[in-house]
Amino acid sequence: MDRNLAIKVNDNDNVATIFAQNTSDGSQIEVVDKKGQSEMLKVIGNIPYGHKIALSDIAPGAQILKYGESIGAASKAIKKGEYVHVHNLDSMRGRGDL
């Protein structure tokens, strides 16, 4: 349990989900894909357990991909290593306005 892990569930994803406690600004996180291959990534900001980190720079309006599908669009520019959540991701569906 000593590894600071983030899981990337689909090869096309541009975010991974963190399964480490207290991931803080400037720390290193190990991003593991479904085959178990991993690479290190420098974290920008503090990211809670179970929340997402950007695996590449994402332009405003671009799709944020998890499970190989869009889970919303970037509401502002997101840097590689940055925390991704409701502050910079807009849902494209299902808010009762469909």
Residues that bind another protein (CB under 8 A): 1, 3, 5, 7, 9, 17, 19, 30, 32-36, 48-52, 66-72, 84-86, 89-96, 98
At 38, list the tokens.
């991993």
* Token pair recorded at residue 96: 């009762």
Cβ at position 11, least distance to another protein in Å: 11
Residue whose CB is less far from another protein, 40 or 86: 86
C-beta separation of 80 from 56 below 8 A: yes
In a 3-state reduction of DSSP, which class is residue 72? Answer: strand
Shortest CB 12 distance to another protein, Å? 11
Residue 7 or 59 having the CB closest to another protein = 7
Closest approach of Cβ 26 to another protein, in Å? 21
Q: Report residue 72 CA to chain centroid gap.
A: 12
Query: Distance between the two ends of the chain, CA-based, in angstroms?
Result: 43
